[in-house]
Amino acid sequence: MALDEITGETFDDEVLQADKPVLVDFWGPRCQPCIALMPALEELAEEHVVALKVVKVDASIRPNWKLSGDHKVLGLPAYLFFKDGAEIKRVTGNGITKQILEEAIGEVLN
């Protein structure tokens, strides 16, 4: 399942006003851990499609720099969970695995 790409212009509507929890993948095309984990993230998005919305933001492009800064994304990959318009969990760093993301999703949904 391909993930929808959002921008600073669509973030409020797609994430903050969503009617279910949202996982935002801040990624970049030169971020090897981001690219390596993308297929696993797409699988998890498909598995949880009813309860969780999963989107991605290309943090490397100029139009999204402010959005990344506003959410204090200082390194990639960064996975931020939002619910009811607020960030509720964050998973960052190079050592992230599918299992770590799966556990974080479980925490958010339970």
Residue type, 60: S
Q: Does the active-site annotation cover 94?
A: no
| 10 three-state secondary structure | coil
Tell me the sheet residues that pair with 86.
83
Indicate which residue of 6, 22, 34, 44 is catalytic.
34
* Alpha carbon distances (Å) from 14 to 34, 61, 102: 21, 19, 22
Q: Does the active-site annotation cover 77?
A: no
Indicate which residue of 15, 31, 45, 52 is catalytic.
31
Measure the CA–CA gap between 96 and 36, rounded to whole angstroms: 10
Contact 81, 22 (CB under 8 A): yes
List residues with catalytic annotation. Answer: 31, 34
